[in-house]
Structure 1
């Protein structure tokens, strides 16, 4: 009597082949490392937003929230520990020097760089090329305020 169907050995071979295919293909579709870096950059962005709001609140109290930065007398506020932070329309300047006063981040894993015109700050993975545009991958970018009552732009670009 002939029966139709698969033998146990044939089923086991098919399952083993599918397992091997899944083990080799899954890492290409699941990029947990890039997701982890992006999540860390989201945390840096949140820190920048909080620090920016704190600085702006202090600038309002001091009455300098409508003043642009201009040399040699830069508007400034003082934060905890007597640290002076320079502002532009009440928000932090777009320099790495000012942001290093305001936030903590893992300096071994991430670096901070200002743009050549000091209107932007980039936070990026250490070892990656220095960002030159707000559209570069795997960065947090801060673009300073462009005028009174205008918030700065703080964004995150996903890691690949």
Structure 2
């Protein structure tokens, strides 16, 4: 009589468990979860900037300063925000002043952050990239101050940080 060779049920279960453990530990290395997380954080910053700019524009409109072509302060003291055409300027005293605890996690990486001119652009990114955004990553939020013809604009590249 010929004896049949094969695997027992226990041997198959052990192999499946080992493969499962390997898949759980190795999968994150192959997936770009960090890029997705950074992109989501940038989208959150974009939302915070849009919200802050909208609130400041509302305050400027109430004060009758939404049409001012030169930089004016909305608010007073440490709560003052520099605006142009009612929206925050692309500066530390403008858009950055609308964000709580900005310097804890974020930095200005492009643009001087000091020009109060209409249409100026500033790029904001993670604090860890203070010395420059990684090449070809587009890992930043870009804020463009308002002009006479257009409201302030906030953009994040679709493939940011990936």
Normalising by structure 1, report the TM-score: 0.71
1:3 to partner: Cα distance: 4.9
Corresponding residue for residue 161 of structure 2: 159
Structure 2 unaligned spans of 5+: none
Q: How does 1:1-160 map to 2 (within 5 A)?
A: 2-3=3-4, 6-8=7-9, 10-12=11-13, 14-15=15-16, 18-19=19-20, 21-23=22-24, 25-69=26-70, 74-78=71-75, 83-105=79-101, 107-113=103-109, 115-116=111-112, 118=115, 119-128=120-129, 129-131=131-133, 137-148=138-149, 150-157=150-157, 158-160=160-162
CA contact (8 A) 1:96 1:113 kept: no
Task: Give the Cα separation in 2 of the matches to 1:105 and 1:124.
Answer: 14
Change (3 A) 1:125 1:90: same
Query: Equivalent residue of 2:147, what SS?
Result: coil
Normalising by structure 2, report the TM-score: 0.71
CA contact (8 A) 2:60 2:74 kept: yes
Task: Give the Cα separation in 2 of the matches to 1:63 and 1:103.
Answer: 23
CA RMSD, aligned part only? Answer: 3.3
